[in-house]
Copies of this chain bind each other. A is one copy, B any other.
Amino acid sequence: MSIVTLLTDFGTADGYVGEMKGVLATAGAVEQVDIAHDLLPHDIDGARLALARYWRRFPPGTVHLVVIDPGVGGSRAALAVESEGRFLVGPDNGVLSPALLHAGARAVVLPIGASASPTFHGRDVFAPAAAQLALGATVDSLGSPHLAPIVRRTPEAERRGDGAVRGVVITIDRFGNAVTNLMARRGGTIEVAGLRLPLRRTYGDADPEAPLALIGSSGLVEIAVRDGSAAARLGLRRGSEVVLRNE
């Protein structure tokens, strides 16, 4: 039985996710796994970053259904993607970038049926396509090649003349940790909010109220405050500048 994961910004209380789950269940032979439905409305960047964390943790054959879709019913394409043995369906707005950026990724454009609600492709386009993939359909059988460039988003860190790398905060997690786009493997120094912080190993490696920098579980530099919110303490938000010096 194939797995279909669900990531949306629909919340659950309105019943929209319930409708999608009903479509999947009716298609049959599908195991549904919730990732999240409480993304901020229209938060394509947050969804992209969450997806980057989990999509390859699931086994080959898994279908990831991703519906953060402010452009629903407009001109944006609906995509089905195969990458690294996993499948993904969702809108062509950058949210599927983590899979699209992999070498060998294939994408097709899903047709929008005449009976599809122009405000709910999650139910009428993406969930049916996810179910077909879970039941063994190939990506190519579901749509046609994408001729226009596909939207791919990635906030690249920038190497400066002095050897330092300039990055930004890309998200604030539930604990108030500020996650950056700076990849790091070992020590170094982080400059953020007027502070210079050595890279530590884990949250407990600093005093309870002191800010610290560490390499998070995805290899990205994070700014944290043990037992508190680094974002609140240092005034950080998405886009705040962070610099890594390998010294």
Which residues of chain A have a CB within 8 Å of any CB of chain B? 3, 5, 7, 9-19, 21-23, 25-26, 28, 32-42, 46, 49-59, 62, 70-74, 117-120, 123-124, 171, 173-175, 201-205, 214, 216-217, 222, 227
A50-B13 in contact given A3-B25, A119-B214, A175-B41 (Cβ < 8 Å): yes
| A221 CB, nearest partner CB in chain B, Å | 12
Can you tell how many copies of this chain the complex includes? 3
Q: How far is the CA of A174 from the CA of B73 in the complex (A)?
A: 19
| A207 CB, nearest partner CB in chain B, Å | 13
Q: Which of B13, B32, B49, B73 contacts A203 (CB 8 A)?
A: B73
Q: Chain B residues near A19 (CB, 8 Å)?
A: 53-54, 57, 217
A201-B118 in contact given A14-B173, A38-B11, A50-B13 (Cβ < 8 Å): yes
Q: List 23 A-B contacts (CB under 8 A).
A: A5-B21, A10-B174, A11-B38, A12-B35, A13-B46, A13-B174, A14-B50, A16-B53, A17-B36, A18-B35, A18-B57, A19-B217, A21-B33, A21-B58, A22-B55, A28-B59, A32-B33, A57-B123, A70-B203, A72-B202, A72-B204, A119-B202, A120-B217
Whether A15 pairs with B36 at a CB distance below 8 angstroms is: yes
| A11 CB, nearest partner CB in chain B, Å | 4
A174-B33 in contact given A23-B57, A117-B217 (Cβ < 8 Å): no
Which of A18, A39, A227 has the most chain B CB atoms closer than 10 A to its own CB? A18
Whether A18 pairs with B54 at a CB distance below 8 angstroms is: yes
Q: Which of B25, B40, B58, B120 contacts A58 (CB 8 A)?
A: B25
Q: How far is the CA of A2 from the CA of B25 in the complex (A)?
A: 10
Per CB-CB distance, the 10 closest pairs between chain A and chain B, nearest first, are: A22-B57, A73-B202, A15-B50, A18-B54, A12-B36, A120-B217, A15-B53, A74-B204, A11-B174, A117-B217
Whether A59 pairs with B21 at a CB distance below 8 angstroms is: no
Q: How far is the CA of A175 from the CA of B54 in the complex (A)?
A: 26
Whether B26 pairs with A57 at a CB distance below 8 angstroms is: yes
| A97 CB, nearest partner CB in chain B, Å | 14
